[in-house]
Amino acid sequence: MTDRLDEQALRDACLDLARVVLAAGHSQVSHDILETLADRFYREVVDFAPGVARAGRDPNLLTRAVYYLNDAHALPLMGTDMEWFRQALVCLVELAVPGIALSDKGGAFLRDVQLGIEQSLGDL
């Protein structure tokens, strides 16, 4: 485990994500727009790093979360809307670094997530 965030790797992940969500059927997106959106993603994510590290977890899991969002949830034409990203990131961080106690009913969903993760890992 490392307690140091690789900021360049996180920036690269955010840039990759920005490329996907701005790919509105155009081969070229303005470099300024791309960099601005990537920076907005980065600023949202980096705020989670201290809490993740305080929980004894590798803050670089945030970079992996961005790549997961890129693979599983980012769609071209999402554009510069950030709300989907914020909500998804909060959910992923809570799954990876639990910060709240769950009821039996809410916690039962974790078993569904566990099965899905096992299936996804089996597909790698």
pLDDT of 82-122, one tens digit each?
999 999 999 999 999 999 999 999 999 999 999 999 999 99
The 3-state DSSP class for residue 15 equals helix
pTM, 2 dp: 0.91
Instruction: Give the C-alpha distances (Å, rounded to integers) separating 111 from 83, 88, 102, 108.
Output: 27, 19, 13, 6
Dump pLDDT digits (tens) for 36-90: 999 999 999 999 999 999 999 999 999 999 999 999 998 887 888 899 999 999 9
The predicted model gives 13-33 an average pLDDT of: 85
Instruction: Give residue 27's pLDDT.
Output: 63
Task: Sort 66 into a burial class: Cβ within 10 Å, 0-12 / 13-18 / 19+.
Answer: buried
Instruction: Give residue 103's pLDDT.
Output: 96
